Amino acid sequence: MTAVEALPVALPVGAAPVLRLTDLHVTFAGGVQAVRGVTLDVRPAEVLALVGESGSGKSALGMAALGLLPPTAQVRGAALLAGTDMATADDDARRAARRVAAGAVFQDPMTSLNPAMRIGDQVLEAAGSRDAALAALAAAGVPDPASRLRQYPHELSGGLRQRVMIAMAVAGGPQLVVADEPTTALDVTVQAEVLRLFRRLCDETGTAVVLVTHDLAVAAQVADRVAVLYGGRLLEVGDAAEVLRAPGHPYTAGLLASRIGPSTRRDLPLATLPGEPPDPRSPEPGCAFAPRCGLAEDRCRTALPELHPSPRHAGADACVRSRELVQVRLRDVGTWPETASRRADGPALELTGITKAFGRRKARREVLQGVSLVVPRGGSVALVGESGCGKTTTLRIAVGLENADGGTVVLAPGDRPQLVPQDAGASLTPWMSIGELLEERLRVEDLSSAARRTAAREALALVGLPLEVAAAKPRQLSGGQRQRVALARAVVVPPTLLACDEPISALDVSLAAVVLNLLGRLRRELDLALLFVTHDLAAARLVSDEVAVMDAGRIVEQGPSEQVLRDPQADLTRRLLAAVPTVAPAPRAPAPRERS
């Protein structure tokens, strides 16, 4: 008997739906209509992927299914889980249903794990006994689970923390697990392991998984079915392989066409979906995607299309012209601007023999072991590697946020490198307006208040944000807008070196393309050097002249990005490339037999 088989078994294949959503509506404070009339079933032993851009309603739908919406949310319709309507039941009934039938895995496990409690105590709380806790950890792929019981969350890597969250989610043998962007911050190898884990748990225990993701390639690797959301509406649903091969809605086709891959051209900006996502406070009277759609006609703008059997696959879509869908219109963003004159010769950054260790005495851990790296002026270098290899520590040493134990850091004379952190929202002071945040960076300059205000507005225009954003607070902006504000703040006083730590990891494909285009344009217009940390090898190829691959605190391969990614020499580079997900569906194991 395997560790997975030792867990309680969920509903048998062929039973009634685990989750049934019927005409579900979710409205948040301020009239934000996050979910608008979604009807959807989730079957036992299947992975259903909810995909769509930020603000499409994916997470709100998942939280509604778990009964975890805030008390101020207005919910209409039904979300039936284990005989309990999670939309209308009282708190006690929802808690009882979650305890018996549901588990959850969130994007950042540190927001769910108690930093003051040992892992064992937290898993034990969900599992009920030490043996069940060990079985759950083993089932989630946690190596040496007995020793992990004694550790605290901060002692584990990001991938291990995510596995612990999965163990806690499945410990009670739930009928349903809702996983909200569980692989977003993980490198490609750990991501592949976590996806295989979800697939295996689903196949071997009969548990259903609702996977919220903005990455269509992730959906392709693990999902049985795909449900595409936009503007709170369900636009398309069907078998994952069929929908991704022949989408029936222009929005799905646009998401697929916007993906970047190993063959995407580097000499031109990325093509993106035209227009902007809809304002959820005032949705369109017709199809939410009509303002961005090249096939839209008058009836699309005035009447709300309903789901109907799709002519392109065995599922359903909500497009009146899906039979005519041959190609999707993307926004042509032209060519790159001319590169500014080089300021001077010499590197923007030179690291030589950098060493760094954390901890004390016996617990001391070598993080960097002789890292040497050169970023030319106006050039771009991408640092890639698995979680914990030292990428972010290298970046922080380069910009002066960490001190190296050994080696030298040489910057261009008089330069003040700027960091764009992974979580742009966390780096913006929440009680200050965007204009105040930008002007704060200019206070060291000898400028009048009027000149600072003008420079702040110019920085917003540079990153493609309207002037009205200056009066907004960070919480009032979308994730993509906050990321652009972080870039504006970094370049309002143009540095020689811009250091970006996973700037697109949490963005959907359309916003990621916008940010990558913005980085390419800023590099050329401001003559910036770029040090770019990422786990996305396609993004590394597009944005960088050179790629440096890190493993266990050392650079194991470095060279021109096209050469390194086309003909990798290091085993790690080959492993990273092999783990990159594609929209080609992954092979499926045989379906589990019905259990009596």
Convert the pLDDT of each residue in 356-379 to its tens digit.
Answer: 888 777 667 788 889 899 998 888
**Can you read off the two tokens belonging to residue 91?**
């708190």
Residue 365 maps to a domain: yes
Q: Tens digit of pLDDT for each residue in 465-508?
A: 778 888 888 877 766 678 788 888 888 888 888 888 888 776 77
Question: Are 170 and 123 spatial neighbours (Cβ–Cβ below 8 Å)?
Answer: no
The token pair at 203 is 């196949």
Q: Does the residue 475 lie in any domain?
A: no
Could you list the residue range(s) of the whole structural domain that residue 567 is in? Answer: 347-417+495-579
- The answer to whether residue 477 sits within a structural domain is no
CATH of the domain at 385: 3.40.50.300
- What confidence tier does 8 reach under pLDDT thresholds 50, 70, 90? very low
> pLDDT exceeding 90 applies to what percent of the chain?
16
Which tens digits make up the pLDDT trace of 61-92? 999 999 988 888 899 999 999 889 998 889 89
Residue 524 placed within a domain: yes
Distance CA 246, CA 243 (A): 5
Residue 383 resides in a domain: yes
Give how many domains the chain has, as a whole number. 1
The per-residue b/e assignment along 214-249, b for 16 or more CB within 10 angstroms, e otherwise, is: bbbbbbbbbbbbbbbbbbbbbbbbbbbbbbbebbbb
CA–CA distance from 487 to each of 396, 491, 493, 503, 550 (Å)?
17, 6, 11, 10, 25
Q: Is residue 549 part of a domain?
A: yes
The answer to whether position 504 is within a domain reads: yes
Q: Quote the pLDDT of residue 229.
A: 93
Polymer length of the chain: 596
Residue 544 placed within a domain: yes
